[in-house]
Amino acid sequence: MATPRKEQSTNTENLQTLAQACDVNEVLLQIALRWKMQILYCIAEDVSQFSTLKKMFPTLSDQVLSKRLKELKEEALVVTEDIENTIPPQIRYSPTAKGKELLKIILDLHHWGLKWKITGNDYCQLNVVSGKL
């Protein structure tokens, strides 16, 4: 996941306090990692191989992409399937039911953010026309 934190740091203590106060904070921290939801969204839209994901996000390093895919798999948000008769061997990623359910929530949050976009101290209500992340 993210870079390990010092166990005695103020930031670590704050994260522990927030996690104890409300499980939502831990969930938000887990899904908020850079690139994670964008990768899951692309997989759900059938961009399902490492090479095609890499083309979608050319500034994303191979190391970070591999790490995020591993996290998504460990969290049961995606599954992998070997593509037969490919040399070198290739893998296809697919969202699980859990991953699809999370994406629905993320898209709802996205629409809410568009509707109530904060500009300075003002709240602006916008018409939501796109379902894209």
Mapping DSSP onto H, E and C, the string for 47-99 reads CCCHHHHHHHCCCCCHHHHHHHHHHHHHCCCEEEEEECCCCCCEEEEEECHHH
Confidence band of 113 (pLDDT split at 50, 70, 90):
confident
Name the residue ranges covered by the structural domains of the chain.
33-125
Find the angle CA(37)-CA(124)-CA(126) to the nearest 5 degrees: 65
Give the residue with greater pLDDT, 5 vs 86.
86
Instruction: Please state, in angstroms and rounded to a whole number, the distance separating the CA atoms of residues 91 and 64.
Output: 17
What pLDDT shows up at residue 23? 74
What pLDDT shows up at residue 2? 54
Confidence band of 27 (pLDDT split at 50, 70, 90):
confident
Crossing angle of the two packed helices 10-21 and 23-31, in degrees rounded to 10: 120
Q: Give pTM, 2 decimals.
A: 0.71
- Mean pLDDT score, 93-103: 96
**Listed range (16-20, 74-78, 111-115) with the worst mean pLDDT:** 16-20
What pLDDT shows up at residue 11? 79
Domain 33-125: give its CATH architecture.
Orthogonal Bundle (1.10)
Give the residue with greater pLDDT, 117 vs 54.
54
Whether the predicted pLDDT of 106 surpasses 50: yes
